[in-house]
């Protein structure tokens, strides 16, 4: 098993949208920074009849150009994405995208996430962004994440035998708290609200910007 580190920076997530709502499937890009290892960012997205294939993928570990045309620098923590339906029931989660994502130039690892959800039923879904190994417990969102706890628990340094630090990955490299991910092929993507009374910040993108809060949680 691999050991990784993640952390949430300020509890702030910036979303750049081509459009807030569309009759056709469109793509949405979000970026932000974790402050603590066990932070979790929550977003919602809506799927309609025009969404034959929904894909979630991150860019922040190895870098690249996201769906909004932003160049994302490599160096972020090893991310996990988990998806839940409108009832909060766990659907799936992904840690590493393997050959579907590029290798980081420093670690050589393919640790960005690539989660192809296929043709989801019409409805509203929640996606959570976490750092490895803060996996969703399931079977529901209410069951939380592996490293839930009071305060900003730091856990990733223990994965590689380091004395301290928030964003170590299992290759024994210290990363930063940045994350970036795309929601591809949906009708709408926004922030659903702040878990546990966190703070949020909103910004304008091409048409709409949504800010998602990242709340303290940790695992793995």
At 76-100, the pLDDT tens digits run 999 999 999 999 999 999 999 999 9
In a domain, 2, yes or no: no
Compute CA distances 188 → 50, 71, 83, 129, 203, whole Å.
12, 23, 15, 18, 17
Contact predicate 45/127, CB 8 Å = yes
In a domain, 166, yes or no: yes
Q: How far apart are CA 108 and CA 89, in angstroms?
A: 34
- CATH number of the domain residue 192 falls in: 2.60.120.380
154-169 residue pLDDT tens: 899 999 999 999 999 9
In a domain, 4, yes or no: no
Pairing of strands 26-34, 178-186: antiparallel
Number of domains within the chain: 1
Contact predicate 166/177, CB 8 Å = yes
In a domain, 220, yes or no: no
In a domain, 18, yes or no: yes
In a domain, 48, yes or no: yes
Torsion of CA 6, 9, 11, 16, to 10 degrees: -90
Task: Please report, in tens digits, the pLDDT of each residue of the chain (220 residues total).
Answer: 333 333 332 223 334 433 334 457 899 999 999 999 999 999 999 998 867 899 999 999 999 999 999 999 999 999 999 999 999 999 999 999 999 999 999 999 999 999 999 999 999 999 999 999 999 999 999 999 999 986 667 899 999 999 999 999 999 999 999 999 999 999 999 865 434 322 222 222 222 333 333 333 333 3
Query: Which structural domain range is residue 164 located in?
Result: 9-215
Half-sphere exposure of residue 196: CA atoms within 13 angstroms, side-chain side: 16
In terms of C-beta density within 10 A (0-12 exposed, 13-18 middle, 19 or more buried), how is residue 214 classed?
buried
Reduced DSSP (H G I as helix, E B as strand, rest coil) percent helix, strand, coil of the chain, to 5 = 5, 40, 55
């Amino acid at each position: 098993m691999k050991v990784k580190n993640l952390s949430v920076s300020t509890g702030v997530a910036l979303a750049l949208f081509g459009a807030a709502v569309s009759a056709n499937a469109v793509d949405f890009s979000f970026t932000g920074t974790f402050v603590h290892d066990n932070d979790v960012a929550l977003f919602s997205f809506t799927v309609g009849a025009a969404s034959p294939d929904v894909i979630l993928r991150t860019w922040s570990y190895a870098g690249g150009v996201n769906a909004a045309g932003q160049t994302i620098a490599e160096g972020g923590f090893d991310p996990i994405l988990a998806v839940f339906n409108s009832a909060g029931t766990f659907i799936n989660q992904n840690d590493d995208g393997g050959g579907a994502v590029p290798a980081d130039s420093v670690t050589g690892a393919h640790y960005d996430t690539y989660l192809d959800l296929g043709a989801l039923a019409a409805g509203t879904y929640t996606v959570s962004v976490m750092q490895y190994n803060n996996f969703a417990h399931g079977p529901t969102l209410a069951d939380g994440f592996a490293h839930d706890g009071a305060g900003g628990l730091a856990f990733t340094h223990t994965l590689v035998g380091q004395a301290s630090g928030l964003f170590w990955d299992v290759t024994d490299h210290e990363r930063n708290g940045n994350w970036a991910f795309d929601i591809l092929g949906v009708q709408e993507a926004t922030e659903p609200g702040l878990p546990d009374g966190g703070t949020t910040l909103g910004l304008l993108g091409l048409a709409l910007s949504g800010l998602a809060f990242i709340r303290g949680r940790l695992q793995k």
